[in-house]
Amino acid sequence: MSKIVVRISDMAVSNTIGSSIVTYALGSCLCLVLYDKKLKLAAMLHSLLPEGKDKTSLPDFNPFKYVDTAVPLLFKECYKFGATKHSLKAYAFGCATIRDAANVMNIGDRNYTALQKILWKNNVFLEQEFVGGTTSRTVEIQIDDGLILLKQGNSAITIQTG
Amino acid sequence: MAYNILIVDDSEAMRVVIKKILRMTGLEILVLEAGSGSEALCLLDEQWVDMVLTDIHMPNMSGVELIEKIRNNQELQKLPVMVVSTEGREDFLAKTQKLGVAGYLKKPFQPTELRNAILAILEENNADIQPTTANDDEDGDF
Amino acid sequence: MQISNPQQQMMMRMAISEVFQKMFFMIPLADLVVAKGKQFQCFVPIACPPDEELTLCLKIDQELALSLTENFLGLSGDDISEAQSNSTVLEILNMVAGNFLNQIDPLGRYQLGIPVAGIPKEGTISICEEFNFESHSLVVLLRGSIS
């Protein structure tokens, strides 16, 4: 089974049967997973910071770095495969408090809040969320059946999508 | 199948939020609105309603009084009522439970929490809750 | 159960933070700012019969009220009326007051009233919490003290 790895500030969309999409070492970053059951289409995003809409004119601007600019692109990429807003189910991971022990910057919380804001504005429900806490997470979605394998700390969870 | 859902809340803004969530479910829902318990009773007198979502603290007639009146009305006795309120203290919870509410959601809530609660109540009342509308509206960024 | 004033303040802060994060998608910034531009004020009576009366008051920069309304209703600024913005702030006060009472008064001694726009009559301030949301000021005051 081939694995498509999503690095920080990146995304992947795939309908390749027999493959999975995975992201590792998810801390305060947000990982958003979308799945379309009928199309067997999976999408994954790994964003570092909450807001980048005022940075779009910067020369090295990467829209996947920021939750508010990345989420629309992830959905739009799925639409190219024939998915619709209603056919995609959304799952959120990460947004933990890591390193910044006093949580001064609240990056994890801010990433999560930025996600909620954009989903609400665009009429999308978050089906399930595994966010917050202080553990690092690994998230993998199997394209064939939409099963999400979540490792957080020493525990592993399987999430049924769709 | 279409459902008639009555939202009872004195806050216009909160009614807009609940309406948005109902629309997002993709179900065919006709929304009725009332700003108080007494207004809700007038509407219930005239219209068929499948479910009521009510606040507790409202002018004229509170949510608790409204539920009491619904339970004392032979025609409405079995109407599913869900409380959506900032009120979460024990005596209110006990009072509304005694009156047989179908659900109780505390404000502030997340959209998915309200959707799940509404779908669970509709399902419990033997409704076929397959979404029938596309709901891929044009507004927003994507 | 006696709840000390610092505990009450902490509960108020938590109530406000929860409401703002969950339904308005805002987390307060650490440094405080002074109020600017037009303000909107409202209050809600909280009574404990026979003679105890508290008032929870909220004062907010109008510009922040508009941002909050956008977030709450999921709309763009141009589509929002002043009435919707005012209704949103009144609902914020209702949720903050309710959330605070749920923590501080689980037995339900106090009766939560209906929030109204305007400035309440004077009274001793027992809690004053200031916030900076998106570089705008929000102040929540509790007039009267909880016995």
Q: What is the pLDDT of residues A15-32, one digit of tens each?
A: 999 999 999 999 999 999
Q: Please answer yes or no on whether A117 and C71 come within 8 Å at the CB atom.
A: yes
Q: How far is CA B47 from CA B43, B44, B50, C28, in A?
A: 6, 5, 10, 44
Task: Give the best residue of C20, C22, C25, C133 to mutate against chain A (max A CB count within 10 A).
Answer: C25
Q: Answer whether residue B127 shows pLDDT above 70.
A: no
Evaluate whether A152 touches A133 at the Cβ level (below 8 Å). Answer: yes
Cis omega (within 30 of 0) on the bond before B80? no
How far is it, in rounded angstroms, from Cα A71 to Cα A32? 8
pLDDT confidence tier of residue A103, bands split at 50, 70 and 90: low
Q: Please answer yes or no on whether B20 and A75 come within 8 Å at the CB atom.
A: no
What is the tens place of the pLDDT at every residue in A59-87? Answer: 999 999 999 999 999 999 999 999 999 99
Prediction pTM value: 0.95
Q: Please answer yes or no on whether A86 and B135 come within 8 Å at the CB atom.
A: yes
Q: Answer whether residue C1 shows pLDDT above 60.
A: no
Question: What is the per-residue pLDDT for A106?
Answer: 87
Give the residue, C121 or B10, on which the prediction is more confident: B10
How far is it, in rounded angstroms, from Cα C142 to Cα C144? 6
Q: Answer whether residue B136 shows pLDDT above 60.
A: no
Evaluate whether C97 touches C44 at the Cβ level (below 8 Å). Answer: yes
How far is it, in rounded angstroms, from Cα B45 to Cα C98? 31
Question: What is the per-residue pLDDT for C147?
Answer: 76
Evaluate whether B48 touches B62 at the Cβ level (below 8 Å). Answer: no
3-state secondary structure of C68: helix
Percent of chain B residues topping a pLDDT of 70: 93
If one counts the domains in chain C, the total is 1
CATH of A2-159, one of 3.40.30.10, 3.30.1330.200, 3.40.190.10, 3.90.870.10: 3.30.1330.200
How far is it, in rounded angstroms, from Cα B49 to Cα B66? 14
Q: Does C74 touch chain A (CB under 8 A)?
A: yes
Sign of the CA dihedral C132, C17, A101, A129? negative
Domain-located, residue C73: yes
What is the tens place of the pLDDT at every residue in B26-73? Answer: 999 999 999 999 999 999 999 999 999 999 999 999 999 999 999 999
If one counts the domains in chain B, the total is 1
Domain-located, residue B142: no
CA distance B72 to chain C (A): 25
Q: Which of C88, C98, C108 sits opposite B13 (nearest CB)?
A: C88
Domain-located, residue B42: yes
Domain-located, residue C124: yes
Q: Answer whether residue C62 shows pLDDT above 80.
A: yes
Q: Answer whether residue A37 shows pLDDT above 80.
A: yes
Domain-located, residue C137: no
Q: 């202080």: which residue's tokens?
A: A134
Q: Please answer yes or no on whether B91 and C107 come within 8 Å at the CB atom.
A: yes
Q: Answer whether residue A1 shows pLDDT above 80.
A: no
Q: Please answer yes or no on whether A71 and B142 come within 8 Å at the CB atom.
A: yes
Domain-located, residue C141: no
Domain-located, residue C146: no
Q: Residue B95's domain spans which residues? A: 2-124
Domain-located, residue B130: no
Q: Residue B20: its chain A contacts at CB < 8 A? A: 123
Give the residue, A100 or C102, on which the prediction is more confident: C102
Question: What is the per-residue pLDDT for C2?
Answer: 64
3-state secondary structure of A6: coil
Q: Which residue of B has its CA nearest to A71?
A: B142
Task: Give the best residue of C76, C87, C90, C91 to mutate against chain B (max B CB count within 10 A).
Answer: C91
Q: Please answer yes or no on whether B85 and C107 come within 8 Å at the CB atom.
A: no
Q: What is the DSSP letter of C123?
A: -
Question: At CA A83, angle to CA A80 and CA A89, rounded to 5?
Answer: 130
Q: Residue A113: its chain C contacts at CB < 8 A? A: 21, 25-27
Domain-located, residue B135: no
Domain with residue B36: its CATH number is: 3.40.50.2300
Question: What is the per-residue pLDDT for B19?
Answer: 98
Question: What is the per-residue pLDDT for C146?
Answer: 83
Q: Does A118 touch chain B (CB under 8 A)?
A: yes
Averaged over A90-99, what is the pLDDT? Answer: 92
CA distance C26 to chain A (A): 7
Name residues 8-27 of chain B within 8 A of C (Cβ).
10-14, 16-17, 20
How far is it, in rounded angstroms, from Cα A36 to Cα A143? 9
Domain-located, residue C113: yes
Question: At CA B70, angle to CA B64 and CA B71, rounded to 5?
Answer: 90
Strand order in the sheet with A88-94: A10-14, A41-47, A30-36, A88-94, A126-131
Question: What is the per-residue pLDDT for A62?
Answer: 98
Q: Which of B11, B90, B108 sits opposite C22 (nearest CB)?
A: B108
Q: Residue C12's domain spans which residues? A: 5-26+37-130
CA distance B55 to chain C (A): 11
Average the pLDDT over each of A72-86, A87-101, B93-107, C128-142 and give the range with the smallest value. Answer: A87-101
List the beta bridge partners of residue A26.
Answer: A137
pLDDT confidence tier of residue B96, bands split at 50, 70 and 90: very high
State the ipTM, two decimals: 0.94
Give the residue, C38 or C51, on which the prediction is more confident: C38
Helices C62-73, C5-24: inter-axial angle, 10-degree rounding? 60
Averaged over A49-56, what is the pLDDT? Answer: 95
Provide the mean pLDDT of chain A. Answer: 95
Provide the mean pLDDT of chain C. Answer: 93
Q: Answer whether residue A149 shows pLDDT above 90.
A: yes
What is the tens place of the pLDDT at every residue in C65-78? Answer: 999 999 999 998 78
Q: Does A125 touch chain B (CB under 8 A)?
A: yes
Q: Residue B88: its chain C contacts at CB < 8 A? A: 98-99, 102
Name residues 17-56 of chain A within 8 A of B (Cβ).
none
